[in-house]
Amino acid sequence: MKNLSDEELMILVSNGNLDMMSILFERYHIRIFNFIVKMTRDKEVSQDITQEVFYKAIKYRTSYKNGKFSSWIYTIARNIFSDHYQRQKSSAQRLDDITYKTESQTEDNIDKIETNEQLHKALNQLSKSDRELVVMSRYQGIKYQEIAEITNSTTGAVKTKVHRAIHKLKDHYLQNI
Amino acid sequence: MNCKQIEDQLIEYIDGNLDDKTSQLIESHISRCENCKKALMELQEVFTAIKNEPQQLPDESLKLDFETMLQKEKELQDDSKVVSLSRVSRNTWKTPLQIAATIALMFSAYYFGTLQNNESLSQEMAVLRKEKTQMKEAMTISLIENESASKRLQAVNYAEEFEKPGNEILKALITKMHYDDHINVRLAAAEALAKFSDNEMVRKALIDALDMELDPSMQIELIQILVSIEEKRAVPSMEKLLQNEETPNYVRDQVKIGLPNLI
């Protein structure tokens, strides 16, 4: 079973063989978790969201339609993160919340190395959509074409947007040094 | 190729996505041009920092929770009775809800009584709130003229937060979108203005921007905005882009995707 492709496994899942989801979980949960960690900077929340991604993948298994599995699962992850982000935004004053978050995070144990902190700070200065593009393209190594599938856009547009986001990140990063 | 074009290609150059000829062109340009060399090194520095960042591992509990969840879903699949159980449990909410409604009723009666007292207070609050908005506007405008591009970027992001920005803010944003030297500032200004597209001045400015703009990524952004706000007057400018031989293909593609939505 371990030799099957992601897509073959997911088709089995959508036909009712739920056990196959464990193999997909093994293959993907660390990547999805790291994607969300970069977006939220919060380990606890990221674990909850990752759990929800696989829960939704099982719940809505019949909506999987033979496309690339990784695009499908990332689309789910984005939607759940987006809901979470909206909830958080409406529950607290946005600006205050964000500054509080970054401060508490740097004090936190996550990263102690200085460059990492500068990089996180720069990442945090990007808009949500720019940050997402940088994370998907550079941290997760997802190809432009697949990002276009996930974000419902065209490859050309994704490429220019990613470039632009990286240049912004660079500007912020160098400014912080 | 000039420096601008080189800079646009640097990321693909680092990733090794360019053909040999273009790579060599860039290589020889960089050996001669200090600015581009610096830009390359800066990008490489950021990429190295990203690469050196370790992947994080979730707690063991994530896997255990997943397995528990999977078991539950499998039981659900076998046993359809569970559906009726959940319906029963929904009914148990009724009583607490009734109690909550009663309490809410009592409180609202109390607050209705105290409402009159608060009226003068809320007027004062309204005045204060208005002053705060004015101050924020003044601050944004002064920041937007700052020398540092990232300060200007910050100001544009502030401007986006206003629900109903004054004309002065809008004009400052429009000037930034048209004339700022820094592409990121122009882009951010365009993004911010897109939110206020109900305003006729803003719509006109967006069309003008597409006419003047030479940078492809900005062109793409503008085309997307103009299509999303269904601005039919932008059609001539878009057709002009299609006819212009210097327009890159991916910008043309964007026009071809968007144009049918306007006609």
Lowest mean pLDDT among A136-150, B131-145, B235-249: B131-145
Report the domain count for chain B: 3
DSSP per-residue letters across chain B:
--HHHHHHHHHHHHHT-S-HHHHHHHHHHHHH-HHHHHHHHHHHHHHHHHHHSPPP---HHHHHHHHHHHHHHHHHHH-TTHHHHHHHHHHTTHHHHHHHHHHHHHHHHHHHHHHHHHHHHHHHHHHHHHHHHHHHHHHHHHHHT-SSHHHHHHHHHHHHH-SS--HHHHHHHHHHHHH-SSHHHHHHHHHHHHTTTTSHHHHHHHHHHHHH---HHHHHHHHHHHHHTT-GGGHHHHHHHHH-TTS-HHHHHHHHHHHHHH-
In a domain, B214, yes or no: yes
Residues 25-64 of A with CB under 8 A from B: 25, 29-30, 33-34, 37, 43, 46-47, 50-51, 54-55, 58-59
The residue behind tokens 């309204």 is: B126
Q: Provide, rounded to the nearest whole percent, the portion of chain B with pLDDT above 90.
A: 25
Identify the CATH number of the domain defined by range A1-93.
1.10.1740.10
Query: What tokens does A136 get?
Result: 């998907």
User: CB-CB: which of B49, B73, B157 is closest to A58?
Assistant: B73
Inform me whether the pLDDT recorded for B85 exceeds 50: no
B183 with B206, same domain: the answer is no
| B167 Cβ under 8 Å from any chain A Cβ | no
Q: What residue ranges of chain A are covered by domains with CATH 1.10.1740.10? A: 1-93
Q: What is the pLDDT of residue A165?
A: 96
Q: Inter-chain contact B46–A54, Cβ cutoff 8 Å? A: no
In a domain, B234, yes or no: yes
Q: What is the pLDDT of residue A109?
A: 45
Each residue's pLDDT tens digit, A118-143: 888 899 999 999 999 999 999 999 99
Q: Inter-chain contact B70–A19, Cβ cutoff 8 Å? A: yes
In a domain, B172, yes or no: yes
Inform me whether the pLDDT recorded for B180 exceeds 90: no
- Quote the domain boundaries for residue B159: 121-193
Q: What residue ranges of chain A are covered by domains with CATH 1.10.10.10? A: 112-177
Q: What is the pLDDT of residue A107?
A: 47
Predicted complex ipTM? 0.81
Q: Please, how many CA atoms are within 13 Å of residue B168, restricted to the half-sphere of its CB?
A: 10
Identify the CATH number of the domain defined by range A112-177.
1.10.10.10
B211 with B161, same domain: the answer is no
Query: What tokens does A142 get?
Result: 């997802």
In a domain, B96, yes or no: no
Inform me whether the pLDDT recorded for A150 exceeds 80: yes
In a domain, B108, yes or no: no
Rounded CA-CA distance B12/B1 in Å is: 15
Cα-flanking dihedrals φ and ψ of residue A163, to 5°? Answer: -55, -45
**Would the pTM of this model clear 0.80, i.e. be above it?**
no
